[in-house]
C-alpha cells in the first residue's frame, strides 16, 4: 500500500511517501503565495524520488495550516495529531512533543501509541515561532541558518525585555549599538523563544522523552536554550521538518478507506 | 528611492510668538522620553509656550536633552530659566537634569485634561510601543487604567512597519485608507509580523494599497476597541499620541465604539510632556521648584 502525507506549512510544503510503512520518497517546496502549486510541486518531487506516478498513491492525508490546498483530494488531519503520530514513530519513547514551525509553535503530550493526550498551540503571535528567529537574524545581519551556532559561542546570558518580535527587533538593534557581542544577543534571542515554548510545554506536562520537531528544531542555539530552560536533554530526530508529513502518511496507512 | 524611510514621521517644534516668557513668573518644562519619540514642552504660567517632538535615539539622557534644547531653540529662554523640570515616559528615570519623574499614565491624564478640557473622562493614548486607556476625573486625576505594552499590534510602531511595507509615507496612511469603494474585512492576524505576510499576500492578489491599509487600520481599531471595552468608556472621550493623527484608525475606532472623540487643539503627541510641565508648574507653586541663581 502506498500512502502520501502532505504538510502544507506557512513556509514550506513537505511530502512523505510510504510503501507499507517504509519511506520511499520525500519532497519539499517553499510555500510562497501559490500554495496549491507549491504543494503539487512538492508532491511531484517526492513521486520522482520514489519513481512513481500520482495514480499509484492509494491514500493521501494532508496536514498543516494550508492543508485544504493539498492535491489529490486528501483526508485532513490536524497538525497536533500529525506531530504526535510522526514523533512517536521516529522515537518510540516520545511523550512530550515540541513542534516549532515558521508561524506556529505547539506542545503535545502523547500516549505510547502516539495518541494526543493534551496540547497547546500558539498561532497568534510570532514571538513563539520561527518567524521570531528569522526577524532577529535579520536584525543581527546573520543568516538564520547560522544564528544557532553563533549563540553557542556566547559567554554570558543577557536578558531580552521585549516579547513582541517587532519590539525585540528594535531591542536587538539597540544592543548592537551598545556593542553587545552578537553571540550574546543570539543567545538572548534563543533564550527568549525557548522560554515561551517551554512554558507552553509545561502547560501540557513535561514527560520524558521530550522530542523537538519542526524546522526550528534544526537550530542548535534554540535546542541549547530549550535544554537549559527544561534542565534536561531533548531529542531531535533527523530531518525534524518532515516528521508531521510522516505522521500524516502513517495516518493514511492506518485509516480505513 | 529605495532608501526612503516611509515610517519616518516629521519631527517638529513650535513656540508661541504672542507670549513673552520673560513676563512670566513660572517657567516649567515637561519631558516625555518614549520608546519611539521624545517631546519637550515649556509652559509659562501654565500656558503652553513651546514644544518639540522628535525621534528617540538609542540613548535616553541624550534624547531628553536634545528635545529640550530644540524646544528652547529660537526662544529667549535657556535651561537656566527653568524653575522645574519633570520627566515622564519610558525613559523618565534616565533624565539626569529632571527634578522629578512622574509616570506617563499620570502625565497623559493631566495633559489630556489640559488639551481637551475638564469634561474628558476617558483618554486613549496610542503611543509608539504601547497603548493605554485611562479614566480620569475633571482635574485630570487618574481613576483606572489598562495598558498593552507587550505586543506591537495597536501601537505606532506597528503602523510604521506597515507604512514601510507598503511604501506609503506614514502621514498619508489614514487618508489613503479611505480611498476604497467598499470597506474590506480587517486583516485576520493580530500579530504585526503575521499581518505583514497577510498583507503581502493580499497585494499579490491584486489588492490596491488603499484597500490593504483599510484592512489594517480597521484591524488596529478593532484591537484597541477590545482594550477600551475591558475598562469601559465614559464620555467625553479623547485620543492622544501619534496614532491620534491617523484618521484611518481614529474614524474606524469611533465607528466601532459608537463614540466620537473630541477634536484635538494641540499636537496629540505632546500630551505626556504637557502633563509633565503642568506637574512641574504645580511643584513650583508648592515651593518645590529648583533653586535658581
User: pLDDT (tens digit, 9 = 90+) per residue, B256-274?
Assistant: 999 999 998 889 999 999 9
What's this model's pTM, rounded to 2 decimal places?
0.88
Residue B185, number of CB atoms within 10 A of its CB? 9
Mean pLDDT within A88-113: 95
Average pLDDT over residues B265-284: 96
B194–A103 CB contact, under 8 Å: yes
B158 touches chain A (CB under 8 A): yes
Is residue B88 in some structural domain?
yes
Residue B89: per-residue pLDDT? 92
Any domain includes B5: no
Percent of chain A with pLDDT over 70: 99
A177: which chain B residues are within 8 Å (Cβ-Cβ)? 58
Maximum Cα interatomic distance, chain A, rounded to a whole number of Å: 61
**Same structural domain for residues B96 and B212?**
no
Give CA separation, B169 vs A167, A169, B186, B246, B258, in Å.
21, 21, 21, 12, 29
Contacts for A217 with CB less than 8 Å, ≥ 6 apart: A98, A100, A223, A236, A237, A240, A241
B257 is a domain residue: yes
Whether B146 and B76 map to the same domain: the answer is no
| pLDDT(A239) > 50 | yes
SS3 B41: strand
Is-cis flag, bond preceding A257, omega within 30?
no
Instruction: Give me the domains of chain A, ranges plus CATH numbers.
Output: 1-90+239-257 (3.30.420.40), 92-236 (3.30.420.40)
Give the closest residue to A12 by CA, choosing from A29, A24, A36.
A29
| A:B CB pairs within 8 Å | 45
- Tell me the shortest Cα–Cα distance from A34 to chain B, in angstroms: 9
- B195 min Cα distance to partner chain A (Å): 10
pLDDT tens-digit readout, A198-226: 999 999 999 889 999 999 999 999 999 99
Query: Are B85 and B131 in a shared domain?
Result: no
| Bridge partner list, A122 | A105
Mapping DSSP to helix (H, G, I), strand (E, B) and coil, where does residue A120 land? strand
Residues B141, B187 within the same domain: yes
**Total domains, chain B:** 2
Residues B139 and B195 in one domain: yes
B14 strand-pairing partners: B51
- B125 and B257 assigned to the same domain: yes
Cis peptide bond upstream of A209, omega within 30 = yes
Is residue B190 within 8 angstroms of chain A, CB to CB?
A: yes
Place of cell 531531535: A236
What contacts A27, CB < 8 A, 6 or more positions away?
Answer: A14, A15, A41, A42, A43, A44, A45, A46, A47, A48, A49
Contact list in A for residue B158 (CB cut-off 8 A) is 166
Residue A190: pLDDT over 50: yes
Out of B189, B193, B201, closest to residue A135 by CB = B193
Same domain, B213 and B246: yes
At B2 the pLDDT is 46
Nearest 5°: the CA angle B60, B191, A241 is: 115
Does residue B6 form part of some domain? Answer: no
Residues B92 and B169 in one domain: no
Same domain, B138 and B82: no
Instruction: Kindly tell me if the per-residue pLDDT of B49 is higher than 60.
Output: yes
Distance of CA A48 to the CA centre of its chain: 25
ipTM: 0.87
- Could you give the CA distance from residue B72 to residue B74 in angstroms, rounded to a whole number? 6
Residues B125 and B66 in one domain: no
Clarify whether residues B147 and B19 are in a common domain: no
pLDDT band at B1 (very low <50, low <70, confident <90, very high): very low
pLDDT on residue A36:
94
Q: CATH no. for residue B24?
A: 3.30.420.40
Range of the domain at B197: 121-261
Indicate yes or no: CB of A166 within 8 angstroms of CB of B201. Answer: no
In a domain? residue B116: no
Is B194 part of the contact surface with chain A (CB cutoff 8 Å)? yes
Confidence at residue B292, expressed as pLDDT on a 0 to 100 scale: 63
Residue B4: inside a domain, yes or no?
no
**For B198, which residue in chain A has the nearest alpha carbon?**
A33
In a domain, B144, yes or no: yes
Closest residue, chain A, to B58 (C-alpha): A174
Chain A residues bordering chain B (beta-carbon distance below 8 Å)? 10, 33, 103, 124-126, 131-132, 135, 163-167, 170, 174, 177-178
Q: Do A126 and B193 touch (CB under 8 A)?
A: yes
Looking at the fold, whether B256 and B146 belong to one and the same domain comes out as yes
The pLDDT assigned to B59 comes to: 80
B129 in A contact zone (CB under 8 Å)? yes
Can you give the pLDDT at residue A33? 84
Amino acid at each position: 500500500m502506498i500512502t502520501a502525507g502532505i504538510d502544507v506549512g506557512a513556509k514550506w510544503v513537505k511530502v512523505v511517501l510510504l510503501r507499507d510503512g517504509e519511506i520511499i520518497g520525500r519532497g519539499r517546496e517553499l510555500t510562497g503565495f501559490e500554495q496549491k502549486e507549491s504543494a503539487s510541486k512538492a508532491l511531484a518531487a517526492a513521486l520522482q524520488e520514489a519513481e512513481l506516478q500520482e495514480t499509484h498513491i492509494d491514500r493521501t492525508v494532508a496536514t498543516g495550516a494550508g492543508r485544504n490546498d493539498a492535491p489529490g483530494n486528501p483526508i485532513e488531519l490536524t497538525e497536533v495529531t500529525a506531530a504526535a503520530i510522526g514523533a512517536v514513530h521516529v522515537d518510540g519513547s516520545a511523550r512530550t512533543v515540541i513542534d516549532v514551525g515558521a508561524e506556529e509553535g505547539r506542545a503535545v503530550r502523547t500516549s505510547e501509541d502516539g495518541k494526543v493526550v493534551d496540547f497547546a498551540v500558539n498561532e497568534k503571535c510570532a514571538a513563539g515561532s520561527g518567524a521570531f528567529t528569522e526577524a532577529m537574524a535579520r536584525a543581527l545581519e546573520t543568516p538564520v541558518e547560522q544564528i544557532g551556532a553563533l549563540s553557542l559561542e556566547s559567554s554570558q546570558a543577557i536578558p531580552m525585555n521585549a516579547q513582541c518580535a517587532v519590539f525585540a527587533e528594535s531591542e536587538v538593534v539597540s544592543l548592537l549599538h551598545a556593542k553587545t557581542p552578537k553571540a550574546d544577543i543570539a543567545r538572548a534571542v534563543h533564550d527568549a523563544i525557548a522560554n515561551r515554548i517551554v512554558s507552553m510545554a509545561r502547560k501540557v506536562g513535561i514527560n520524558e522523552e521530550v522530542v523537538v520537531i519542526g524546522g526550528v528544531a534544526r537550530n542548535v542555539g534554540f535546542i541549547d536554550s530549550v535544554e537549559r530552560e527544561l534542565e534536561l536533554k531533548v531529542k531531535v530526530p533527523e530531518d525534524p521538518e518532515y516528521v508531521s508529513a510522516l505522521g500524516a502518511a502513517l495516518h493514511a496507512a492506518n485509516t480505513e478507506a | 528611492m529605495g532608501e526612503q524611510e516611509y515610517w519616518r514621521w516629521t519631527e517638529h517644534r513650535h513656540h508661541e510668538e504672542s507670549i513673552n516668557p520673560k513676563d512670566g513668573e513660572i517657567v516649567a518644562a515637561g519631558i516625555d522620553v518614549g520608546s519611539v519619540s521624545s517631546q519637550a514642552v515649556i509652559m509659562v504660567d501654565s500656558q503652553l509656550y513651546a514644544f518639540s517632538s522628535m525621534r528617540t535615539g538609542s540613548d535616553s539622557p541624550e534624547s531628553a536633552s536634545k528635545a529640550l534644547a530644540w524646544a528652547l531653540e529660537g526662544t529667549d529662554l535657556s535651561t537656566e530659566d527653568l524653575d522645574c523640570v519633570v520627566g515622564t515616559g519610558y525613559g523618565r528615570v534616565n533624565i539626569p537634569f529632571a527634578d522629578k519623574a512622574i509616570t506617563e499614565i499620570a502625565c497623559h491624564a493631566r495633559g489630556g485634561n489640559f488639551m481637551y478640557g475638564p469634561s474628558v473622562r476617558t483618554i486613549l493614548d496610542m503611543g509608539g510601543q504601547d497603548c493605554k486607556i485611562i479614566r480620569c476625573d475633571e482635574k485630570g486625576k487618574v481613576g483606572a487604567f489598562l495598558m498593552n505594552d507587550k505586543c506591537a499590534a495597536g501601537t505606532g510602531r506597528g503602523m510604521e512597519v506597515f507604512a514601510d511595507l507598503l511604501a506609503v509615507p506614514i502621514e498619508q496612511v489614514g487618508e489613503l485608507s479611505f480611498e476604497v469603494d467598499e470597506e474590506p474585512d480587517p486583516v485576520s492576524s493580530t500579530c504585526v509580523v503575521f499581518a505583514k505576510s497577510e498583507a503581502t499576500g493580499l497585494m499579490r492578489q491584486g489588492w490596491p494599497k488603499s484597500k490593504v491599509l483599510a484592512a489594517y487600520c480597521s484591524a488596529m481599531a478593532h484591537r484597541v476597541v477590545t482594550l477600551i471595552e475591558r475598562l469601559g468608556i465614559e464620555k467625553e472621550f479623547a485620543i492622544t499620541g501619534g496614532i491620534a493623527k491617523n484618521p484611518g484608525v481614529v474614524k474606524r475606532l469611533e465607528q466601532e465604539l459608537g463614540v466620537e472623540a473630541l477634536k484635538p487643539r494641540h499636537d496629540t503627541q505632546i500630551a505626556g510632556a504637557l502633563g509633565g510641565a503642568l506637574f512641574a508648574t504645580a511643584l513650583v507653586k508648592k515651593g518645590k521648584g529648583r533653586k535658581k541663581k
